[in-house]
Chain A
């Protein structure tokens, strides 16, 4: 049981962005991917989720023994993959509650219909735990939300859908320290032996609140270094500059063309 990414290459139009990513996330583990802007971190999350703009040119992704890449984005999600978006879309006129009802209904076996009472009980329970006003659930999803509200709405969705593997794409960006704590609290509630997490971040500060088991550094479409939580602290101190100098271009990288063991 794991989310296994093996030698993944992907491009958008003609530009190669992922150049051989290998990483395995087991349930119960929390991985962090750090890296400078443009290193391909967000691309990795979108390729995993099946965004149509990206083309996988090489490699494989296997979720609990089932190959992911030839499946539609909604199938991948129902298999247990969740992506907390860096820039969540506004869905005009669709309330959070109705949106989540549709998502929950989609996970039920064919012909079974959702118990509305149970659904709202769970929704309010999760909202209470995230310190959200219940009236928030009737607001149109992400419409006119502040940055913090959008990120909280992502965490609420994650809590409701209980994914096997969650990828959080720069969930900390644009958050003040209070919002960051709430979001981190929500993420920590999901952690447990059943869930594997991949946290993508530019800064170390989110990792003060969600301590990862593994930290990976991504530069120019590759994982160039992996380690424990201490790696994040080192990066915070030294910056990404030295790594970019060393691995910044695919031509000079010693790892070019080869996957890096996760």
Chain B
């Protein structure tokens, strides 16, 4: 298959798979997640380059991937609905010290995750000290403390 088509197919497939994995799955960067990402990279590499180790092939693959990235960022900026589907939206999961359990279950975030983020970023000790906790599109949890 042509390197351009090959790279484009893999780009889109990875986008879909990682999107389906959800924000929290691969983005916490535990050492296991890190190894998993390395293995995914390794598995992709052979398909991207196939048996062609020429410079031209490598350049075409890189060119395709970067062009697609530019194209996607452009489209995401112009068409908000695409950005929503590709990146998702932030979501409030704790409001005035009350965890919104129903949303948290759906998003696969536990109260311990929220408390851990609260300790790490704000040095908070209890749920009621949190004014808002937001699950960001990157998968991280940002904490706004009560005054």
B and A form one assembly: no
